[in-house]
Amino acid sequence: MSVKGLGLSANSRSWLVVMFSRFKSLTVIAFAASALVLPGPLAAQTPDHPTDSSATFPTREDLRDMTVAGSYLAARHASIERDATAAAEFYRSALRKDPKNNELLDRAFISSLADGNIDEAVKLAGRVLKIDKSNRVARLVIGVHDLKQKRYESARRNINQSVRGPITDLVATLLAGWAEFGAGNARGAVADIDKLTGPEWYPVFKDLHSGLIMQLAGNEKDAGVRLERAYKLDETALRVMDAYARWLSRGKDGAPAALAIYEAFNQKLARHPLVVEGIRETKAGAKLPPLVDTPQAGAAEALYGIGASLTRRGGEDLALVYLQLALYLQPNHALALLSLGDLYESVKKPQMAIKVYERVPERSALHRNAQVQMATDLDASDRSEEAIKILQAVTQDDPKDVEAIMALGNIERGRKKFADCAVTYSKAIDQLTGAENNNWVYYYFRGICEERSKNWDKAELDMKKALELKPEQPHVLNYLGYSWIDRGLHLDEAMKMIKRAVDQRPDDGYIVDSLGWAYYRIGNYQEAVKNLERAIDLKPEDPTINDHLGDAYWRVGRTLEARFQWAHARDLKPEAEELPKIEAKIENGLPADETPAAASADKKKDEGKGG
């Protein structure tokens, strides 16, 4: 019997939204109290399983034939599903039929904005402001549109009316500063930014953008002072570090000074693509251009920076607005695209994330990362063969790309291509240069694939290697301990290992199931029932755990309950090879003379000595 549910999520995108680590002091409560408040549909709970919006997207003929009520209900459903494209189409359809309905207008505006259809959102924002001149979201959208069109004075007026609380005050001040710079007043722009007071995480934003404005205004000396100050405030902030290193590369100390900054960051967060690119270029003696080159790019950088930070801090709705506006100003901003894709993934919309990752320019240093993430989302959308082809191409281009190799192995493992994933993980292991603790995961994943491919000897060696690197790792303790008991090997040691895993993960239904099944396999059915009932409480919809509990009930004489659990396991869609076994048990029960693995334990222990 195989071990289920023990795979780990190998998400190596921790660098993706690295921007300002000081921003972590912002609490969700503070955000909720101060941020722009969006209408209900955008904040609705997302479904557990992603949906393919293209499967239900309305045709223009469908929209024309629908009533106002029908369009509204369809839009509400699309909003709950976080399908902003369909929601916007339905709300706009309803609005065309009932143009004086202010609620429809507001929802059509917000949905269009969330969908990234900023041109349509601008039109609707103008109508919203005729009804409510104080609507802050509409003011922000109109202001950003003005900034893009280089109507800088109008941009400042509208943006300054979009404020309310710490986050929106900061965004408005930075955007207004960039508009003022666009109007030719760099000194006034910096002065206005400097006047802003607020939380302790403001200064790094203020110094960064003041420095960028001074750079474009030709005041390199003062720009360097501000960028250095921002860097000293937070050396772990990717964009701050990059902006400062770029300034240094053009200064008197040139590329060596910039290289030192990049290499120091690389020690904190290894192999970020933009850092790798910076190291390569500064080693070649390049003088790097500023981080931004226009007022529009500067404003996009401000919107991206705060939007990316909010994405992981419970502020997805406001983050979505800021990221879409950033991309309106700078459509090829690769980090903003990756952050938007990451946001869609966080709300379980892989189809939408895929469309975003497709927009990352091929020339960008981040294109490879977009390909890896897109493959993950293709797999989540049941398009695993496409995902595998993409990752095979990425790894062929760079056979040492461990992240892409691991992503490929994870997809193969998830799709039960166990022989393939064992080979793939071996390629990743071949690239390891040390014995760091975190390397346990490579051996653990390969061990799973080998065990499922019936190569137990190799699997056992890999699990032992994983424990050597991470001695108390609960998933490895559980997998190896379970596998030993299932084979009648090292029973005492295996039971201790599983118990240590449960002590660390008492609320993990799969690990608790392993303990219950271990008791079953050694013939302690009462303890098996006790632990398997707890596992069911933790994971009620898992077919294997229900099957296990049915077996344990049968052994303690609770035959009616056993058949109920087996029937439930059957209805929960177990693995194909398990279904006929479950159906046979429902029909005939367990044979009276079945003997647990413990009966042959002594023989197997002798056979497994030293294993």
Rounded to an integer, the average pLDDT of 224-246 is 97
Instruction: Name which residue leads in pLDDT, 37 or 134.
Output: 134
pLDDT at 33 over 90: no
Closest CA to 243 of 214, 201, 280, 270: 214
How long is the chain? 611
Rounded to an integer, the average pLDDT of 499-526 is 95
Q: What is the pLDDT of residues 252-263, one digit of tens each?
A: 889 999 999 999
pLDDT of 22 reads 37
pLDDT of 58 reads 54
The Cα–Cα gap between 444 and 480 comes to 10
Q: Which of 70-74, 381-385, 437-441, 553-557 has the lowest mean pLDDT?
A: 70-74
Instruction: Name which residue leads in pLDDT, 4 or 404.
Output: 404
Instruction: Name which residue leads in pLDDT, 141 or 433.
Output: 141
Rounded to an integer, the average pLDDT of 23-37 is 34
Say what percent of the chain tops pLDDT 90: 75
Q: Is residue 152 a contact partner of residue 180, using CB atoms and an 8 Å limit?
A: yes
Residue-averaged pLDDT of the chain = 87
Query: CB neighbours of 584 closer than 8 A, spacing ≥ 6?
Result: none
Confidence of residue 195 (pLDDT cuts 50, 70, 90): very high
Q: Which of 4-18, 223-237, 436-450 has the lowest mean pLDDT?
A: 4-18
State the pTM of this model.
Answer: 0.82
pLDDT of 314 reads 65
Q: What is the pLDDT of residues 538-595, one digit of tens each?
A: 999 999 999 999 999 999 999 999 999 999 999 999 999 999 999 999 999 999 855 4
Confidence of residue 44 (pLDDT cuts 50, 70, 90): very low
Q: Is residue 145 a contact partner of residue 118, using CB atoms and an 8 Å limit?
A: yes
Q: Which of 94-108, 140-154, 204-218, 592-606 has the lowest mean pLDDT?
A: 592-606
Q: Which of 28-42, 281-295, 373-387, 491-505 has the lowest mean pLDDT?
A: 28-42
Q: What is the pLDDT of residues 69-110, one digit of tens each?
A: 888 888 888 888 778 888 889 999 999 999 999 999 999 999
* Number of Cβ atoms within 10 Å of the Cβ of 476: 28
Rounded to an integer, the average pLDDT of 474-485 is 96
C-alpha distance from residue 187 to each of 177, 194, 215, 276, 289 (Å): 10, 11, 12, 34, 22
pLDDT of 52 reads 41
Say what percent of the chain tops pLDDT 70: 86
Q: What is the pLDDT of residues 337-375, one digit of tens each?
A: 999 999 999 888 999 999 999 999 999 999 999 999 999
pLDDT at 608 over 90: no
pLDDT at 28 over 90: no
Superfamily of domain 472-611: Tetratricopeptide repeat domain (1.25.40.10)
Closest CA to 391 of 5, 6, 10, 1: 10
pLDDT at 478 over 60: yes
- DSSP-assigned states of every residue in 24-89: GG--HHHHHHHSPPPPGGGGSPPPSS---GGGTPPPHHHHHHS-HHHHHHHHHHHHHTT-HHHHHH
pLDDT of 398 reads 92
- For 21-297, CATH number out of 1.25.40.10, 3.40.50.2000, 3.30.930.10, 1.10.357.10 equals 1.25.40.10
Please indicate whether the domains covering 21-297 and 472-611 agree at the CATH topology level. Answer: yes
pLDDT at 38 over 70: no
The Cα–Cα gap between 550 and 561 comes to 7
pLDDT of 75 reads 82
What are the residue ranges spanned by the domains of the chain? 21-297, 472-611
Token pair for 171:
């965004």
Burial group, residue 609, by CB count within 10 angstroms (0-12, 13-18, 19+): exposed
Q: What is the pLDDT of residues 284-337, one digit of tens each?
A: 999 999 999 999 999 999 999 999 988 766 678 889 999 999 999 999 999 999
Query: CB neighbours of 570 closer than 8 A, spacing ≥ 6?
Result: 543, 579, 582, 583, 586
Closest CA to 307 of 22, 17, 550: 17
